[in-house]
Amino acid sequence: MTQTEDRIPLSTEDTPLVPIEKIVSLCKRRGFVYPNSEIYGGVSGIYDFGPLGVELRNNIRRYWWWSMVQTNDNVVGIEGSIITHPRVWEASGHVDSFVDRLVDCKNCKRRFRVDHLPKENLEQNKCPVCGGELTEPRTFNLMMETYIGVVEGERMKTYLRGEACQNIYLDYDNVLKSSRMQVPFGICQIGKAFRNEVTPGNFLFRQREFEQWDLQFLVHPSEMQKWFEYWKARRFEWYKGIINHTDRLHFREHGPDELAHYAKQAFDIEYRSILGWQEWEGIHWRQDWDLSRHSQFSGQDLSYTDPETKERYIPWIVETSGGVDRTFLFLLLDAYEEEPPSDKDKEGRTVLRLHPWFAPVKVAVLPLQKNKPELVTTAKDIHKRLQRLMVSQYDDVANIGRRYRRQDEIGTPFCVTVDFQTLEDQTVTVRERDGMTQIRLHIDELPAYLLERVRWDYNA
Ligand code: GAP
């Protein structure tokens, strides 16, 4: 086979932090993300995903599910509902404690979360933007209310879930009884969560409707520390494995004043972008908070009996909780690069150096010229063959250089070009996105060559 044998190298060289506006513009222009209800003026903190966005999103979700559920014998998955019994949110502590404290600047009218204010501004009661006086803090609950039932007076008020993981505690006993899991084991879920964020912003970073992934790992209390360290390390490596700029990742431990009401200890995996160091995933020591509270509020015994020792106890929980949307945003911020003109590309280009696993389109098939029916037919045949195996795009609009650039900008790792030589010897050019290197391959070798390069990596 005439090919380079290595997997695509990921760029480790540091590049300038990408302004968020560039990502917002690319997302709108190329069909990754659109503002929700745009024709009505939009709703802040809510977004829709376009044709490329939905592919990227699905790839992100699938990779997490594959690496957290399908490749771990001691982890299973569930998919719970968005709406639950309202008592769930009393038991979980969200009705009482899921709040943000806000202050307003009396002068410039800007609004700030108290926990986001620099210490000196808080102490001096001074606006960080204009120096004006701040109001007394006010408290807002973040839960989104909704109603079940149609008849006024009989309707039951409940909430859209404020964190997706509550379903896992609700289903934990059913999972135990219907699977052969024994402590220690984990339950995973990916699902939407809703929060009336008072300061949504920074594009997908802080939204009102977003998607979370959770692992709730149930352990014997005596093993809590061991498993907490285990998942902390594993999740960090997971994130390291999906980005180019691994030096933009670190842990930050929560101080006692910022711990969520359910957590005894918490570490954030943070990513550094133009937004500064920001949380990507939280690793929480939830202990027995959730199962004890649900036992107490529901009157159901949620303790576990060890099949060998017969010891009865409420399992303690290590939670790893991250965001699909933040992964989407951080992957784009990490992968986006504007390359100046070079010998390889005279005009310069914008390239998304996404890992091939995540790339929305894996391969583009391009006839060298649109007006040569033999080239077009062969290219369409190849596209149809590849489409059965991966997302392939056929493109014959504009000159070949522009078509390459179009694919680079959306992160397509491979372009296959059908030219006049193809008609003679059935070989095509395969161009690789990052290095812009080109090799020639026989058409029959293409599927195996590409599949090997876009499949999940088992060593990740
Ligand atoms: N069950 C624990 C929990 O919900 P969290 O730190 O509030 O913990 C977990 O949320 C993850 O969900 C965060 O690390 C982040 O990736 C994502 N997330 C939280 N709030 C978000 C928001 N308003 N918009 C987008 N993603 C959010």
Question: DSSP string spanning 25-58?
Answer: HHHHHHTSEEETTGGGT--TT-EEE-HHHHHHHH
At 6, the pLDDT band (50, 70, 90 cuts) reads very low
Nearest alpha carbon to residue 435 among 333, 360, 342: 342
DSSP state of 246: G
At 176, the pLDDT band (50, 70, 90 cuts) reads very high
Q: Give the closest residue (by CA) to ligand 1 atom 17.
A: 323
- Phi first, then psi, for residue 205 (nearest 5°) are -65, -50
Tokens of 42: 């939009």
Residue 47 has pLDDT above 60, yes or no: yes
Quote the pLDDT of residue 119: 87
Quote the pLDDT of residue 396: 97
Any idea which of 18-22, 52-56, 98-102, 357-361 has the lowest mean pLDDT?
98-102
Quote the pLDDT of residue 7: 36
Q: For residue 356, say if its preceding peptide bond is cis, omega within 30 degrees of 0.
A: no
User: Which residue carries 């180019």 as its tokens?
Assistant: 244
Q: In what order do the strands lie in the sheet containing 138-141?
A: 111-113, 99-104, 138-141
**CA end-to-end span of the chain:** 26
Q: Give the closest residue (by CA) to ligand 1 atom 18.
A: 323
Share of the chain above pLDDT 90, in %: 87
Dihedral angle computed from the Cα positions of residues 231, 68, 242 and 202, in that order, rounded to the nearest 10 degrees: -80
Pairing assessment for the beta strands 75-77 and 185-194 based on DSSP bridges: parallel
408 Cα: distance to centroid of ligand 1 (angstroms): 31
Burial (CB count <10 Å: 0-12, 13-18, 19+), residue 110: middle
Distance CA 66, CA 135 (A): 48
Largest interatomic CA distance in the chain: 78
Task: Evaluate whether 341 touches 348 at the Cβ level (below 8 Å).
Answer: yes
Share of the chain above pLDDT 70, in %: 96
The interaxial angle of helices 166-178 and 289-298, nearest 10 deg, is 80
* Single-letter amino acid, residue 157: K
Quote the pLDDT of residue 203: 97
Does 326 sit in the ligand 1 pocket, CB within 6 Å? yes
Q: Give the closest residue (by CA) to ligand 1 atom 22.
A: 206
Taking residues 23-45, report their average pLDDT.
97
Alpha carbon distances (Å) from 238 to 9, 67, 243: 18, 9, 9
Check residue 45 and give left, alpha or beta (phi > 0: left; psi -120 to 50: alpha).
left
Does 165 sit in the ligand 1 pocket, CB within 6 Å? yes
Distance CA 433, CA 51 (A): 21
Q: Give the closest residue (by CA) to ligand 1 atom 19.
A: 323
Rounded to the nearest 5 percent, the helix, strand and coil shares of the chain are 35, 30, 40
Nearest alpha carbon to residue 329 among 24, 12, 36: 24
- Identify the residue with better confidence: 75 or 115: 75
Residue 416 has pLDDT above 80, yes or no: yes
Quote the pLDDT of residue 13: 56
Q: Give the closest residue (by CA) to ligand 1 atom 11.
A: 322
Quote the pLDDT of residue 132: 95
Does 325 sit in the ligand 1 pocket, CB within 6 Å? yes
Distance CA 452, CA 111 (A): 51
- Give the global pTM: 0.93
Taking residues 317-330, report their average pLDDT.
98
Index of the ligand 1 atom closest to the CA of residue 326: 16
Quote the pLDDT of residue 14: 58
Residue 418 has pLDDT above 60, yes or no: yes
Quote the pLDDT of residue 10: 47
